[in-house]
Amino acid sequence: MYKKVKQYALSHGFTVEEKEGLIYGTMNGFFFSIHQDPTTLAKHTVHLWVKENNMTAVPAIADFLNQCTGKHKYLQSASYSGTRVTAEFQGLGFKWQKLYTPCLDAFLQEFTAYCQSNNLVSCCESCGAESGLSLYQVETVEHMLCPSCYANASDSFQRRAEEISRKGSGNIIGGIVGALLGSVLGVIVWVLIYQLGYISGIAGLVMVICALKGYEILGGHLSKTGIIISCVISIVMLLIAEQVCVGLEIYDVYKDYAEITFFDAFKSVPEFLEEPELKAAVIYDIVIGYLLMAVGAWGTVRQALKNSSGKTKTRLVTQVTNTGSAGRY
Ligand SMILES: [Zn+2]
């Protein structure tokens, strides 16, 4: 989490959940959340949940947000859904280190003051109810919901999870074709890099990513079976790629002395590998290739397993009591 934003939050008595990248609190009586971007330090999503109070005529909230984006330098965009405000902040340019956190604060101050003076009320994101509200985190997104909307929402998450698990392995034949095509791309990259005289291991990474992507595209869904198939195909194709490279080298050397085709050279590779020096070089290439393949597969596999497990991480962050002007009448 960005240190300056964290310090700002703590000094204002807001709650900081460092591990979840989440800050929340109340300003001018209105509840808000600040979500830290996982990859960029000075990038945050701010949410507030408000609606117009029936008793008061309120100038359009969206218009006010538009003015805010013009005024606050690091507010990249702000939108209003009718119940939820989403404001995206990102520190860009030269001076953001100094000005970013004050900008975030200025927006929160200004917007909550606006909510207060226009008698807006805190509300459920889904139905607009004003009581029994709680902040939930679903995956990594914050939602303010009332108890019955939360019950509905968790039902639909459950259904989505069941749907994913029902999809099973997808179309295995299509997936295998996709993985083969993807890995052939990797083989081409491998051979090209080898020809240029570089360590071709990096192509191992390309190969497994292409194979997994290929399986997903033609198989419709990357299941555990799909991951195993794609990885096995990649492992075999890497050996073939290396054999093609060595075969090409042998062909290059012998084509001027003997009547050989590339295919003869390709078949003769195992014989040539009895020579220790060549064998060591080939093993080195393959080991590097497999290491980088593991690196390439890791991210995709982790994501795919997370998706196919069908478990949506949902948690109650905090109950939100008596915020907004509703409590002050
Ligand atoms: Zn609701």
Q: pLDDT digit string (tens) for 290-317?
A: 999 999 888 878 877 766 555 567 889 9
pLDDT of residue 148: 92
Cα(34) to ligand 1 centroid in Å equals 21
The structure's pTM equals 0.60
User: In the beta sheet, which residues pair with residue 319?
Assistant: 134
131 φ, ψ (degrees, to nearest 5): -125, 160
Sign, CA dihedral 311-317-319-320, equals negative
pLDDT of residue 326: 43
Cα(145) to ligand 1 centroid in Å equals 5
User: Quick check: is 209 in a domain?
Assistant: yes
Calculate the dihedral angle through the C-alpha atoms of 297, 315, 39, 64, rounding to the nearest 10 degrees.
140
Confirm if 241 and 203 have CB atoms less than 8 A apart. yes
User: Quick check: is 68 in a domain?
Assistant: yes
Cα(165) to ligand 1 centroid in Å equals 28
Residues 156 and 187 in one domain: no
Cα(29) to ligand 1 centroid in Å equals 20
Both tokens of 177, joined, read 């074709």
Residues 25 and 61 in one domain: yes
Cα(51) to ligand 1 centroid in Å equals 13
Domain enclosing residue 46, as ranges: 3-161+313-328
- Helix, strand, coil fractions of the chain, as percent rounded to 5: 55, 15, 25
Q: pLDDT digit string (tens) for 221-234?
A: 888 888 999 999 99
Residues of the chain with confidence (pLDDT) below 50: 324-329
Cα(67) to ligand 1 centroid in Å equals 29
User: Quick check: is 166 in a domain?
Assistant: no
The total number of structural domains that make up the chain: 2
Q: For residue 194, what is the enclosing H or E element?
A: helix 172-195
Residues 133 and 9 in one domain: yes
Cα(21) to ligand 1 centroid in Å equals 25
- Spatial distance between the Cα atoms of 99 and 162, rounded to a whole number of angstroms: 46
Both tokens of 124, joined, read 């459920």
Cα(158) to ligand 1 centroid in Å equals 18
User: Quick check: is 114 in a domain?
Assistant: yes
Residues 44 and 144 in one domain: yes
Cα(150) to ligand 1 centroid in Å equals 7
Residues 186 and 284 in one domain: yes
Residues 68 and 20 in one domain: yes
User: Quick check: is 297 in a domain?
Assistant: yes
Both tokens of 6, joined, read 């964290």
Residues 44 and 155 in one domain: yes
User: Quick check: is 242 in a domain?
Assistant: yes
Residues 131 and 182 in one domain: no
- Spatial distance between the Cα atoms of 51 and 28, rounded to a whole number of angstroms: 15
Residues 10 and 154 in one domain: yes
pLDDT of residue 35: 96
